[in-house]
A and B are shown apart, each in its own frame.
Chain A
């Protein structure tokens, strides 16, 4: 990315064995790899090296992963992929709320990790390209005309429903937490209104989805949030 041949990855983990095996996996797939073993050096490395994607372990000594996310987000839009062990479920949601893009649960397979990195890079590229029309199978969202069609049939959405769909669809394959959706799509006064969010999502699905009770595009992440699935 950024004009260079191979994208660069910054790995942040305090375990040398994990770093070593990740480095081998990533380098063999053509990535340039830098590593940091704690939060402070990770932030410095981000400022100096400007990586294309950050792999961030949450359980770090000193500055924890969630705080690293928060500080990094205050000045950078680099995609952050959180690596979390299952015992830190709560931290995972906190990290997403703090601006992380996605998470992979440890231990993971190399294939899965590579797929997530590719998706994160694609999203970043799409953001730079600023494509005004989002196409996902039969669903087309024209961001300029604020027009939504499914299988060429126009769908009439209320302003809140449209905003919710826009926020989801402009972040394809990314888990958006309940808190994030409430803040960005529903706006002030709705921060705690999870029941309202559920109702809006249900309405949106009934208008868009071919089978609303088994949704295809707007996917639920139980106890975390929602995700837009772009492929058909």
Chain B
């Protein structure tokens, strides 16, 4: 950086010296040459180094012109109107080229940034593709192998083995279904959907979601604090359901059976607020954004599709809300979701 800076100013001074040296022997014959060459020097400096060096070459050029080539020679007296006009011309050229140069540099940086971004996106896509093909291939392989064995066994299969193979086929098919549904849900959310905001009672939705995911949560003691006396709010219940179900399923995967989970729901001025706390291992600060990325699994396990939290966050954001992680007083993670309560939409639409 510093070297670049020094180089630019060196160019500025050098342009003055070279232009002056080249003009001196020819000056008596070509009276306009010094001004033209010094101007060319300003132009070169401005396009290479920008404003700062250009100003230096303007001042240097003007002084050289005044000292060597204007009457009286070898003094810095400004006598002729021409010299002052030279100065104006110098500054004008310097400004113009300096501006162009600055713009060029911004454009170049932008192009560089865009290329980097595209490269990162491509890289992320390749990684996602690798995960997807792995997650699809593994269950498919298990299913194909089991089916072929059942159809063409090398030796007669025992009843136990047949039962086991059929079990594998069903379990792996379930895994595929889970994965494909999650991938479809993610694609739908990423494509962008218009929230369908209706009057809803928060408590009954949270309660319905809890009933549905109860088999997954198993024996975990539940604290449910979403009073049925809360006022109604206008939000997309389907999207809230999707976010909360994915969140709870994620908690079921990442916390030990029997550890407590708590849900608190409130209608606040800022919107509809849900806090889901668990007593699991918690999520360190450095990981709190990464866990929401697609196909991201903190511990490499066979559980889950790596899309649950990504779907939960996308579903919250699809209706203008957010989902983030804090520390829980229960020792694990606290997921905070807030979605807007858009009561005024109808009024706005009517106008």
Contact = CB atoms under 8 A, between A and B. Distances in A.
A199 B209 CA distance: 20
A47 to B, nearest CB: 35
A91 interface: no
A220 B204 contact: yes
A38 B227 CA distance: 48
Contacts of B240: 222
A215 B173 CA distance: 34
Interface residues of B, number: 29
Contacts of A17: none
Interface in B137-180: 173, 177
Contacts of B201: 198, 201-202
Given A107-B177, A213-B224, A223 B185 contact: no
Contact of A201 (B196, B204, B238): B204
A219 B208 contact: yes
A interface: dominant SS = helix
A186 to B, nearest CB: 14
Contacts of B226: 213
Contacts of B238: 89, 222-223
B184 interface: yes
B209 A222 contact: yes
A194 B204 contact: no
A86 B232 contact: no
Interface string A209-232: 000111100011111000000000
A144 interface: no
Given A87-B188, A213-B224, A220 B236 contact: no
A221 B130 CA distance: 37
A219 B203 contact: no
Nearest to A86: B181
Contacts, number: 58
Given A195-B232, A198-B201, A222 B237 contact: yes
A221 B209 CA distance: 9
Interface in A87-119: 87, 89, 107
A206 B240 CA distance: 24
Nearest to B185: A86
Contacts of A86: 181, 184-185
Contacts of A174: none
Contact of B208 (A178, A199, A205, A222): A222
Q: Interface centre among A89, A206, A223, by most B CB within 10 Å?
A: A223
A178 B196 CA distance: 14
B92 interface: no
A213 B208 CA distance: 10
Interface of A: 86-87, 89, 107, 178, 194-195, 198-199, 201-202, 205-206, 212-215, 219-223
Interface of B: 173, 177, 181, 184-185, 188, 196, 198-201, 203-205, 207-211, 224, 226-228, 232, 236-238, 240-241
Given A178-B198, A222-B208, 20 more contacts: A89-B238, A195-B199, A195-B232, A198-B200, A198-B201, A199-B232, A202-B201, A202-B228, A213-B207, A214-B210, A214-B224, A219-B208, A220-B205, A220-B207, A222-B205, A222-B240, A222-B241, A223-B236, A223-B238, A223-B241
22 contacts: A86-B181, A86-B184, A87-B184, A87-B188, A107-B177, A194-B199, A198-B200, A198-B201, A198-B204, A201-B201, A201-B204, A213-B224, A213-B226, A213-B227, A213-B228, A214-B224, A215-B204, A220-B205, A220-B207, A222-B238, A223-B238, A223-B241
